[in-house]
Structure 1
Amino acid sequence: MRIWLEILIVSTRLGLTSFGGPTAHLGYFHEEYIRRRKWMDEKNYADLVALCQFLPGPASSQVGIGLGVMRGGLIGGIISFLGFTMPSVIALIIFATALQTFGIEDAGWIEGLKIVAVVVVAHAILGMAKTLTPDNKRKTIALFALISTLLWQTAFTQIAVILLAGIIGYILYRRETIQAENSTVTHFPISKKFGAACLSVFFGLLIFLPVLSNYFSSQWVSMFDSFYRSGSLVFGGGHVVLPLLEQEFVSTSWLSEQQFLAGYGAAQAVPGPLFTFATYIGAVVAGWQGGLFATFAIFLPAFLLILGTLPFWNDLRNNPKIKAALIGINASVVGILFSALYHPIWTSSIYETLDFALAAILFFMLVYWKLPPWMVVLSGALLGMILL
């Protein structure tokens, strides 16, 4: 019970302060769960991030669920998800209305929070790079991943890069003796049977929901199908889901282009996962009940996939061949994160000299002055409100 309460408190605090999108969230998780609380070691965290990057769905939310499961079992995973997501769900409904009414999308404090995201992500990636790319071969894999995901920004580039990096890692490191590292994760609180059931439900819903949607003329069934399918077929984080949702809801006249863009602005401004953009759409279509229903539908695939794969994760990564492939995959994740640091995080935050100066101040506060992340977030908002 005490562990669950701890998970709830920490994840809720992160849900209230984690601005900047999925890559920034991984930085916040790394700082809070790995560096400060030592819930998992660096290697296990890197493997978990690689697994979630490989799976479709919201990678940062899946990492949060995985961390919760490792710490407190299935209930811990649910609590971790609710703590990290519900502040965004509640805030987005309220803030979307304020955004449409008052037009505050260009407020200085929001710009300051975007710059905070740049700082947090840069700090996290530099730390991960030291661990995951110690030699020139892995640095080269990271460079390949960075260039590829920058030049070809499609939904499937990231998954293709991760697959290719795994093959390269297998070729380069399969003959080397991979020393077993001490791991804090030796027991999985969920069984393989339960994991297989989750995977079966995932694929079953993906196949049969479109059939049910065509058979039943129900708004709720159609919404569930649209959100579930969007959450199941997205690689690359929350930004990639936007075109799918636009096709599902704007093209079918469930909401207008102006309403859609207003919701996107609100989703960028609030903390937490960008997938809660679905909350806004559901609320526009069917009130607050629709918002909660849409949240459940779009995140359900992420839950089923991470709970379905975690029980098999230990066996896979302890296989020497898989471990060799994971060396390449982990290096590619560093490159992918550097790519995301530049676009969209840097390009949507650092426009002029003053922005860069503010980023430098916040970076010193976090890295060298060792101030807690919440203080850096608050400082970024205040400095942005004063200077920008």
Structure 2
Amino acid sequence: MLQIFLRFFSLGLVSFGGPAAHIGYFRQTFVQELNWLDDKHYGSLVALSQFMPGPGSSQVGFAIGYHRGGLLGGIAAFLGFTLPSFILLFLLAVTSSQWLDYSFTQGIIHGLKLLAVVVVADAIWIMFKQFCQRKQAKLLMMFSCVIILLQPSMLMQFGLLIAAALVGRHYLSSAAGSEVDASAPPLSQPVKLNFFWLSLFAGLLIASLVAISLSSQSSITNLTQLFSQFYQVGSMVFGGGHVVLPLLQQSVGDSISHDQFLTGYALAQAVPGPMFALAAFLGAEIWIEQPLIGALVATLAIFLPGFLLMLVALKSWNAISAKPQVTGAIAGVNACVVGFLLAALYTPIFTSAVLSPIDMALVVLGFGIFKTFKPNIFFLVAGFGVTGALIGAFVS
């Protein structure tokens, strides 16, 4: 267990670049260097993470830890990989009152907000090319984006996800099924799910929906509501990474200001580890009476659904992935979340970050550099932070 924890902790200290980069780091370390599993097995875990809601790269890490050391191994992997970003974002949250009002730090944060525009735009472009190749998927993407721009709400997003799954099941199953690994077992192989974990996932989801409904009349957030908000988001985010942004913004929008939310998101760009660790910053900001408790509850709640679903399907993934209707439904959901992310790119990201022609010029320049030269995300963070600080100092 200690070995698993330390291996993932060392990766959590240096894993900049988002889910795609994390998956590359995992393959280099656990397949090529340590030989904990082979490429075929690793590829199947990556594919499973794409078909489950939750933080994609963290789910892969959890599955590797589970493969190596069972349930405790999965927990050790999660703790190791998430702890560095959790600590950094928690400390940034609890000390924000000491440094947030300085023009220098405001300039840095503004620069990081501009970087968020670049990174999310790139994520949308990549996901569009990956998930919206067919006409039906493109239509789903456009429809979901338009609806969320006009009627932004958690209930609307949930309804669109269900509708997209139904549409994908009927119209995208052939395309999705063609991507299934040829080594997958025949469709006749029985699917044996772990119903204990499935029942726990479903029970917590129903309880969270009830808790949010009962507390909707109150403007005060308690720990049960805090857990419910983040658990609900973790249960509906497909693709992980930046896709969490629109759902989180809708879920906690009444508990935290837009500026606080985008500050946390911008800071999450600047630290290594999973994007879902943003929950540590938000939880500490929302539960200011005991920020550490708030950060722990929010972080546990947003990661828990994805891990429970991984435990449900880990032993039966090959049989599940061989069913075209299942993969078709997921293809529809993936197209839908691209639309969600496109709507989030406009609001709150673009509208809160791009405030002048200089800002827009920096976004265009940064996007061009990002796509042309593909620099390490650390250099982009440093570049946008320094540029934002200089502009802030000059303007002030």
- Normalising by structure 2, we get a TM-score of 0.69
Q: Check if 1:306 corresponds to 2:309.
A: yes
1:51 aligned partner: 52
Alpha carbons of 1:357 and 1:3: their partners in 2 closer, same or farther (altered >3 Å)? farther
Out of 77, 85, 97, the position equivalent to 1:100 is 97
Q: Check if 1:240 corresponds to 2:250.
A: yes
Provide the rounded CA distance (Å) in 1 between the counterparts of 2:192 and 2:102: 46
Matches within 5 A, 1:1-388: 5-14=6-15, 28-33=18-23, 48-49=49-50, 51-52=52-53, 59=54, 62-73=55-66, 74=71, 77-79=74-76, 81-83=78-80, 85-104=82-101, 107-174=106-173, 178-182=177-181, 195-202=194-201, 224-234=223-233, 237-243=247-253, 246=255, 267-268=264-265, 270-271=267-268, 272=275, 273-276=277-280, 277-282=282-287, 284-286=288-290, 288=292, 290-291=293-294, 293-295=296-298, 298-299=301-302, 301-302=304-305, 305-311=308-314, 314-388=318-392
Provide the rounded CA distance (Å) in 1 between the counterparts of 2:43 and 2:196: 30
Amino acid across the alignment from 1:7: F
Provide the rounded CA distance (Å) in 2 between the counterparts of 1:135 and 1:207: 34
Amino acid across the alignment from 2:228: R
Unaligned runs of 5+ in 2: 32-38, 186-190, 211-220, 237-245, 269-274
Provide the rounded CA distance (Å) in 2 between the counterparts of 1:371 and 1:103: 28
Secondary structure at the aligned position of 2:154 is classed as: coil
More displaced 10-residue stretch of structure 1: 95-104 or 352-361 = 95-104
More displaced 10-residue stretch of structure 1: 273-282 or 373-382 = 273-282
Alpha carbons of 1:298 and 1:165: their partners in 2 closer, same or farther (altered >3 Å)? closer
Amino acid across the alignment from 1:278: G
Alpha carbons of 1:154 and 1:183: their partners in 2 closer, same or farther (altered >3 Å)? farther
Provide the rounded CA distance (Å) in 2 between the counterparts of 1:363 and 1:119: 5
Provide the rounded CA distance (Å) in 2 between the counterparts of 1:94 and 1:160: 36
Amino acid across the alignment from 2:247: G
Provide the rounded CA distance (Å) in 2 between the counterparts of 1:175 and 1:64: 27
Identity of aligned residues (%): 24
Provide the rounded CA distance (Å) in 2 between the counterparts of 1:353 and 1:198: 51
Amino acid across the alignment from 2:79: L
The structural deviation recorded for 1:301 is 4.2
More displaced 10-residue stretch of structure 1: 148-157 or 310-319 = 310-319
**RMSD between superposed Cα atoms in Å:** 4.1
Give the conservation status (yes or no) of the 8 Å contact 1:88–1:270.
Answer: no
Per-residue CA deviations over 1:89-141 (Å, capped at 9, x if unaligned) read: 43344333443234437611111111111111211221221122223232122
More displaced 10-residue stretch of structure 1: 38-47 or 79-88 = 38-47
The structural deviation recorded for 1:198 is 2.9
The structural deviation recorded for 1:31 is 4.0
Amino acid across the alignment from 1:321: Q
Provide the rounded CA distance (Å) in 1 between the counterparts of 2:184 and 2:78: 20
Alpha carbons of 1:333 and 1:184: their partners in 2 closer, same or farther (altered >3 Å)? farther
Per-residue CA deviations over 1:283-326 (Å, capped at 9, x if unaligned) read: x32464x3565346534643554345443655444212222222
Give the conservation status (yes or no) of the 8 Å contact 1:116–1:376.
Answer: yes
Provide the rounded CA distance (Å) in 2 between the counterparts of 1:204 and 1:157: 22
Give the conservation status (yes or no) of the 8 Å contact 1:165–1:332.
Answer: yes
Provide the rounded CA distance (Å) in 2 between the counterparts of 1:141 and 1:209: 28
Amino acid across the alignment from 1:72: G
Per-residue CA deviations over 1:135-192 (Å, capped at 9, x if unaligned) read: 3232122111211222111012222112112222223245779325338999xxxx96
Give the conservation status (yes or no) of the 8 Å contact 2:177–2:322.
Answer: no
The structural deviation recorded for 1:70 is 3.4
Secondary structure at the aligned position of 1:330 is classed as: helix
The structural deviation recorded for 1:223 is 5.8
Amino acid across the alignment from 1:63: G
Provide the rounded CA distance (Å) in 1 between the counterparts of 2:205 and 2:176: 41
Secondary structure at the aligned position of 1:51 is classed as: coil
Alpha carbons of 1:164 and 1:153: their partners in 2 closer, same or farther (altered >3 Å)? same
How many pairs are equivalent?
339
Give the conservation status (yes or no) of the 8 Å contact 1:165–1:325.
Answer: yes
More displaced 10-residue stretch of structure 1: 65-74 or 156-165 = 65-74
Unaligned runs of 5+ in 1: 19-27, 53-58, 212-221, 247-256
Secondary structure at the aligned position of 1:285 is classed as: coil
Give the conservation status (yes or no) of the 8 Å contact 1:279–1:294.
Answer: no
Provide the rounded CA distance (Å) in 2 between the counterparts of 1:13 and 1:327: 32
Per-residue CA deviations over 1:333-381 (Å, capped at 9, x if unaligned) read: 2222222222222222112111111112222332111211111111111
